[in-house]
Chains A and B, each alone.
Chain A
Amino acid sequence: MATVIQSPVIGEDTKTTPTVKKKRRSWKNSIAWLATTLVILIIWQIGVGLFGKDYMATPIGVITAVPDVLFNDPKLWPGVWETFAVVFRGLILSVVVGTALGLIMGRVTFVADALAPYVNGFYATPMIAVLPIITLWLGFNTSATFALVVFAAIPPMAVAAWDGSRTIPVRYLEVAKSFGARRRDVWVGIAIPASLPYLLAGFRLASGRALSAVVIAEFLIGTGDGLGIHIMRLAQNFNHNEAIVAIMILTLVGLFLAIGIERILRRRYPWFRKS
């Protein structure tokens, strides 16, 4: 974001052609995408066959493991449920608390100064390092996992909301004032929409960190039936194909949180740009 380089519009005349060019490009792209994917998969399959060990995951192995894992693994869906329940509860709490903190910090400099060292400090501390303290306090259970998720997700939300509310373009505020807007109008009508791009960027970061946190916590706590534990056990029992299928679920949720939510918002609010 900080690094946007202004791209000039090259010539009015290029505008007349995009439809033709775009179509051709996307058609070519999908062919290239398929070809590249095939090449990657073939190299992977043959590579493991030649140099790898027999328990290592191969494309064919992963594909055949998909129905097995999805339909015949009694531990998968409960694990998915348990893990993502923690992630979503943690994210909701973090979004609410983090946004509130950040907005206050953006409007009241004194609060910002007072809280900044804590927000930045928690942000910079690797979450694995705090996990021993959390387990010391809460024990080796789901509440420790939940606490780590919240610890991981609040700082990016707070920083994003802070940045967003600090950087509302003055011009908008001037326009609002010149039309006699009330305080409430400024908040609802300007402050929140204007900082929405920041909040969204913060949410992407927060959700990524929350996913990492849940996996770390489950790996280290080592008890329970979460998806992370399940992945760990599958991998340690040399069921790599099955473990990769389980990881794919994690990835899909990650993709949804990173991209899906933004897409939905953008469809709902067409004015909304990435910025």
Chain B
Amino acid sequence: MSSSTVDSHAPTTKGKPNPSDSKRAQKKAPRRIRFGLMVGLLIGAVIWELAGRFYFEPIFFKPLSEVILALFNLFTSPVFWNALAESLQLFVAGFFIGTFLGLILGIVIGRITLIGSALESYVTVLYVTPPIAMIPFVLSILGFGYWPKAIIVSWFVFFPVCITTIEGVRAVSPRLLEVARSFGSGEARTWKDVVIPSTLPFAMSGIRQGVALGFVGVVAAEFLLDASGIGLLLRTYSRLYQTDNLFAAVIVMTFLGLSVMAIGRWVEKRFATWRQ
């Protein structure tokens, strides 16, 4: 991939506008009342309810009201909370392993240019390989249990963190490195003053993606390896044709996913106050 600093961008970020370009048009009316949002949600809810009541077989589709009821039952049952805790624990373990390795390797690859460019090509290749495809190998080598799942989750997290860190280290402005050198700064100080602060926002955007992917990894691992946590719950509901519970669980996943993304964005922002 290109090592040019101007070109560098995180390969998996959504098409976000470049903050340094102030000429972008962005309609941002403060505190606009979103009628569209309410109308959209209302129409969706009505269609869901009516379709469930009058159109579909109850095995395939449940009206919104019944799904909400199932949601309440879910929230009051300890089974759900235990499953959630189990999944969360897996997520945290995998996330930290993946992030740690991703940061370390990213810095090494980005900084040691000769070996780095070779390793980077492999990281890129593995990154475009669907991580799910690794599951059969992990299964047949390591079997069932906790750690195979944690490895899968960290595999999901590792790549975005590693790749954005590489980019971050490479994107360190040569001018700022020169400034540091012209003031006689040593290597350690240069890292503290220049390399780390300018890499951090990149790494954070990788971590944000890692958080989202790690969440997917948890569900995948719990579904395809040793069933546990939320994955086991989903599997059970679908096998027993408890459609209302299944829908409720998927809704929970959606909100978990949304909040995981929001947390990631918050963390990313938090570490880059100096940017626009």
| A contacts, CB < 8 Å to B | 1-8, 10, 28-29, 32-33, 35-37, 40, 53, 55-56, 109-118, 120-130, 132-133, 135-137, 156, 159-160, 163-164, 166-171, 173, 195, 197-199, 201-202, 204-205, 208, 211-212, 215-216, 219-220, 228, 231-232, 235-236, 238, 240, 243, 247, 250-251, 254-255, 257-259, 273-275
- Interface residue stretch chosen among B77-85, B92-100, B136-144, B184-192: B136-144
Interface range on chain B (Cβ under 8 Å from partner): 35 or more
Within B1-58, which residues are at the interface with A (CB < 8 Å)? 1-2, 5-21, 23-27, 34-37, 39-41, 43-44
Mind listing 10 A-B residue pairs with CB under 8 Å? A7-B5, A10-B175, A28-B114, A33-B117, A33-B118, A126-B253, A135-B238, A211-B130, A250-B129, A274-B2
B66 → A minimal CB distance (Å): 15
Within B198-213, which residues are at the interface with A (CB < 8 Å)? 198, 201-202, 205, 212
Contact call A219/B224, Cβ cutoff below 8 A: yes
A163 contacts across to B, CB distance below 8 A = 14-17
Contact call A126/B36, Cβ cutoff below 8 A: no
Complex-state Cα separation, A113 to B132, whole angstroms: 34
B61 contacts across to A, CB distance below 8 A = 137
Q: Which 5 A-B pairs have the closest CB atoms?
A: A113-B36, A114-B40, A124-B257, A198-B15, A235-B136
* Inter-chain pairs besides A2-B17, A156-B14, A201-B14, 5 sampled, C-beta below 8 Å: A3-B168, A7-B5, A7-B171, A10-B178, A195-B15
A195 contacts across to B, CB distance below 8 A = 15
Within B226-275, which residues are at the interface with A (CB < 8 Å)? 231, 234-235, 237-238, 241, 243, 246-247, 249-250, 253-254, 257-258, 260-261
B220 contacts across to A, CB distance below 8 A = 126, 128, 216
Report the nearest B residue to A173, measured CB to CB.
B25
Contact call A127/B216, Cβ cutoff below 8 A: yes
Contact call B18/A2, Cβ cutoff below 8 A: yes
* Residue among A4, A115, A243 having the largest count of chain B Cβ atoms under 10 Å: A4
Task: Name B36's contact: one of A35, A109, A121 (CB within 8 Å).
Answer: A109
Contact call B257/A3, Cβ cutoff below 8 A: no
Are A170 and B23 also in contact (CB < 8 A) when A126-B215, A254-B130 are?
yes
B110 → A minimal CB distance (Å): 14
Contact call A231/B133, Cβ cutoff below 8 A: yes
Complex-state Cα separation, A108 to B236, whole angstroms: 42
Contact call A240/B137, Cβ cutoff below 8 A: yes
B183 adjacent to chain A (CB < 8 Å): no
Complex-state Cα separation, A84 to B205, whole angstroms: 31
| B contacts, CB < 8 Å to A | 1-2, 5-21, 23-27, 34-37, 39-41, 43-44, 59-61, 114-115, 117-119, 121-122, 124-126, 128-133, 135-137, 139-141, 164, 168, 171-175, 178, 198, 201-202, 205, 212, 215-216, 219-220, 223-224, 231, 234-235, 237-238, 241, 243, 246-247, 249-250, 253-254, 257-258, 260-261
* Residue among B37, B59, B164, B235 having the largest count of chain A Cβ atoms under 10 Å: B37
Contact call B16/A126, Cβ cutoff below 8 A: no
Contact call A250/B16, Cβ cutoff below 8 A: no
Complex-state Cα separation, A53 to B137, whole angstroms: 12
A234 → B minimal CB distance (Å): 8
B36 contacts across to A, CB distance below 8 A = 109-114
B36 → A minimal CB distance (Å): 3
A200 → B minimal CB distance (Å): 8
Complex-state Cα separation, A35 to B122, whole angstroms: 14
Report the nearest B residue to A203, measured CB to CB.
B15
Contact call A258/B128, Cβ cutoff below 8 A: yes
Contact call B260/A243, Cβ cutoff below 8 A: no
Report the nearest A residue to B239, measured CB to CB.
A132
Contact call A128/B237, Cβ cutoff below 8 A: no
A67 → B minimal CB distance (Å): 21
Complex-state Cα separation, A160 to B21, whole angstroms: 18
Contact call B254/A124, Cβ cutoff below 8 A: yes
Are A133 and B246 also in contact (CB < 8 A) when A113-B37, A208-B12, A250-B133 are?
yes
A28 → B minimal CB distance (Å): 7
Complex-state Cα separation, A229 to B247, whole angstroms: 27
Contact call A167/B26, Cβ cutoff below 8 A: yes
A42 → B minimal CB distance (Å): 14
Complex-state Cα separation, A133 to B250, whole angstroms: 9
Contact call A167/B24, Cβ cutoff below 8 A: yes
Complex-state Cα separation, A164 to B26, whole angstroms: 11
B143 → A minimal CB distance (Å): 12
Are A128 and B17 also in contact (CB < 8 A) when A29-B117, A169-B25, A232-B136 are?
no
A53 contacts across to B, CB distance below 8 A = 141
B228 → A minimal CB distance (Å): 14
Task: Name B115's contact: one of A32, A121, A137, A197 (CB within 8 Å).
Answer: A32
Contact call A202/B14, Cβ cutoff below 8 A: yes
Contact call B35/A113, Cβ cutoff below 8 A: yes
* Residue among A28, A32, A53, A55 having the largest count of chain B Cβ atoms under 10 Å: A32
* Residue among B41, B247, B257 having the largest count of chain A Cβ atoms under 10 Å: B257
